[in-house]
Amino acid sequence: MPEVLRAPLVVEFPFTRSLGPVQSAFLTGLRERVVLGVRTTDGRVLVPPVEYDPVTADELRDLVEVAPTGTVTTWAWNPHPRPGQPLATPFAWVLVRLDGADTSLLHVLDAPGPDSVRTGMRVRVRWAATRTGAITDIACFDPYGGAPAQPSGSTGEFADPVTGIVTPARLDYTYTPGRAQSAYLDALAEHRTVGERCPQCRKVYVPPRGACPTCGVATTEQVEVGPRGTVTTFCIVNIKARNLDIEVPYVYAHIALDGAGLALHGRIAGIPYDQVRMGLRVEPVWTEGARHPDHYRPTGEPDADYDTYRELL
């Protein structure tokens, strides 16, 4: 078996999240070193405050301040902090019921080791030095020996409230395309286009995807197709795509390579964009180091008759 193709795939985006009134108040409060909860219709105080009562589904809006001190209700010692987590040194994950609250908040506790952590221990918020209105404005909790702290008397109304947050998220994957696609990609490296034939319907799939999608069986027999083909349909792109270094206008076409059972997609060049037509005969143009053809150009052959490719549209 040839070596498995693999490459990193980074899925990363800074998501922009609007907050709504309750979450806005809570996160703004954290910025101002105030912890807010929300009172339910039956008088419980939920911290962190949620917009909707988990028991009754009531809409909740009655904000109430609680203390920055509280009690650990359960914990877990994390010896190996992971990227993105609040502390880079070993710490405890904790659920903390803040004084004045009836529910617990998930955060982390900075402690010297697991032996210094227990359920029922008292803790206090350590505020982050710079605060923007985010859950990370609580840097962590610290062990705390004193009496319950008093709320500051905040009304829950703040100047310049935070109404949205940006939550960047990056996940790292290793992409492997699998057997059929790997074989296809390996052949492309030699500037050959190799599809696979379905053992049942005998159609040739380019690129092959491991299965004949109409028969639901593995395609196996490798078949070289092209290099020439026919433009079955196309559009003229007049809008510059992000991350794509192609001057507009250009032609984006469906191309049925000779011998293939369906069309693949490619760019047409070497001809004015307004002269591209359905039925145009084309061939691939490769550039050094690129895995896929850079574009397709006219071969100069007469156009294919509509009936020869109408089934491939």
Partner 1 sequence: MSKEPVAVVGIGQTKHVAARRDVSIAGLVREAARRALDDAELTWADIDAVVIGKAPDFFEGVMMPELYLADALGAVGKPLLRVHTAGSVGGSTALVAAGLIAARVHGTVLTCAFEKQSESNAMWGLSLPIPFQQPLLAGAGGFFAPHVRAYMRRSGAPDTIGSLVAYKDRRNALKNPFAHLHEHDITLEKVQSSPMLWDPIRYSETCPSSDGACAMVLTDRAGAARAPRPPAWMHGGAMRSEPTLFAGKDAVSPRAGKDCAADVYRQARITDPRREIDAVEMYVPFSWYEPMWLENLGFADEGEGWKLTEAGVTELDGDLPVNMSGGVLSSNPIGASGMIRFAEAALQVRGQAGEHQVEGVRRALGHAYGGGSQFFAMWLVGAEPPST
Partner 2 sequence: MTREIAVVAFAQTDHRRSTDDLSEVEMLMPVLHEVLDRTGLRTADIGFTCSGSSDYLAGRAFSFTLALDGVGAWPPISESHVEMDGAWALYEAWTKLLTGDADTALVYAYGKSSPGSLRDVLTRQLDPYYVAPLWPDSVALAALQAQALIDAHETDEPALAAVAARSRATDNPHAQLRGPVPHGDYVVRPLRTGDCPPIGDGAAAVILAAGDRARELCERPAWIRGIDHRIEPHSLGVRDLTDSPSTRLAAEKAGAFERPVDTAELHAPFTAQEIVLRKALRLDDTVRVNPSGGALAANPVMAAGLIRLGEAAAAIHRGEADRALAHATSGPCLQQNLVAVLEGDPR
By the criterion CB under 8 A, which residues form the site for partner 1?
5, 7-11, 13, 15-20, 23, 50-57, 59, 163-164, 167, 169, 175, 177, 181, 185, 201, 203-205, 212-214, 232-239, 241-244, 246, 249, 252-254, 261-262, 265-267, 278, 291-292, 306, 311-313
Q: Rounded CA gap, 96 and 47, in Å?
A: 9
- Of the pair 216, 289, the CB lying nearest partner 2 is at 216
Closest approach, Cβ 152 to partner 2, in A, equals 21
- Helix (H) or strand (E) segment spanning residue 14: strand 7-18
**Partner interacting with residue 246 (select from partner 2, partner 1, none; CB below 5-8 Å by kind):** partner 1
In the three-class reduction of DSSP (H, G, I as helix; E, B as strand; rest coil), residue 203 is classed as: coil
Helix residue ranges, H only, the chain: 20-31, 179-188, 306-309
What DSSP assignment string belongs to 76-110?
A: EEESS--TTSS-SS-EEEEEEEETT-SS-EEEEE-
Q: How far apart are CA 246 and CA 253, in angstroms?
A: 15
CA distances from 60 to 131, 151, 222, 258 (A): 26, 21, 63, 65
Nearest to 42 by CA among 102, 100, 107: 102
190 binds partner 2 (CB under 8 A): no
Segment contacting partner 2 by CB under 8 A, of 128-136, 186-194, 235-243, 281-289:
128-136
Nearest CB to partner 2, comparing residues 60 and 251: 60
For binding to partner 2 (CB under 8 A), which residues are involved?
A: 1, 4, 6, 9, 11, 15, 17, 19, 23, 26-27, 46-48, 50, 54-55, 73-80, 82-86, 93, 95, 97, 103-108, 114, 119, 134-136, 165, 167, 169, 171-181, 209-218
